[in-house]
Amino acid sequence: MITKANLKFLKDLSKNNNREWFTENKKIYETQLENTVEFATELLELMQKHDHIENASGKKVLMRIYRDVRFSKDKSPYKSHWGGGFQRATKQLRGGYYFHIEPGQSFVGGGFWGPEPSDLKLIRAAIAADEKGLRKILNSKSFVSFFGDQGLHGEKLKTVPKGFEKDDSALDLLQLKQFLIRHDFSDTDVMSADFAKKMNEAFKAMRPFLDWMTYAVTHDSNGVPLKY
């Protein structure tokens, strides 16, 4: 489980985001990093029971706490959160899972952050061909229980995509350039003994959506698998 001391470390880091403080508290960082790796390891084991995940270990799941500040106006050297990503195995399983642990702002997310133009074209064609199938997933009880009834999130076109009409019933989906879903957790959730299980259930609820999208970007309009 993620400990209270772990969240306290992140709070303290957000208030003292400098190398001097971090160096003085390096042992605390290492202790809380170990706690987070143990959590990620448990979560990875749970996820491997219902999806094919490439990450070799919980440690490989976690992202570095050190920020790349070369092209950022914010020169804070450290992230004040833990972040981790699970990669679905091979090109035949698309989409990804992400978790974010930060006091008051913890969540899980997933989906397709920035599809290539060729993939986006395939996704839109699949939406046009199977709008009902996608909406059935987005409106399902398990999906709505975790991700609400607002559907997908992400950047959208302000205009009608090329090749479609403004009165298309799927226009709200066709205008999307990103296809993202998210579920928030309270600090109480984060520190609960079954937090890994709760997070895993949210990821399981994403799976039908990820599978639908995977089919869209790995098959042509006739349902023939694409070659890579």
Which domains are seen in the chain, by residue range?
Answer: 4-218 (3.30.930)
pLDDT beneath 70, residues of the chain: 150, 228
Predicted pLDDT of residue 133: 96
**pLDDT attached to residue 225:** 84
Q: pLDDT (tens digit, 9 = 90+) per residue, 28-46?
A: 999 999 999 999 999 999 9
Residue 23, classed as helix, strand or coil, is helix
Edge-to-edge strand list for the sheet holding 106-112 = 82-87, 96-101, 106-112, 179-185
| Two structure tokens written together for 62 | 């976690």
User: Are 108 and 99 within 8 A, CB to CB?
Assistant: yes
Q: Are 59 and 81 in contact (CB under 8 A)?
A: no
pLDDT score for 224: 87
Quick one: tokens of 61? 């799941």
Distance CA 154, CA 181 (A): 9
**What's the pLDDT at 150?**
67
What pLDDT is stored for residue 175 in this prediction?
A: 96
The count of C-alpha atoms lying within 13 angstroms of the C-alpha of 108, restricted to the half-sphere facing its C-beta, is: 23
Predicted local distance difference test score (pLDDT) of residue 72: 84
Instruction: Tokens for 134, please give them.
Output: 């996608």
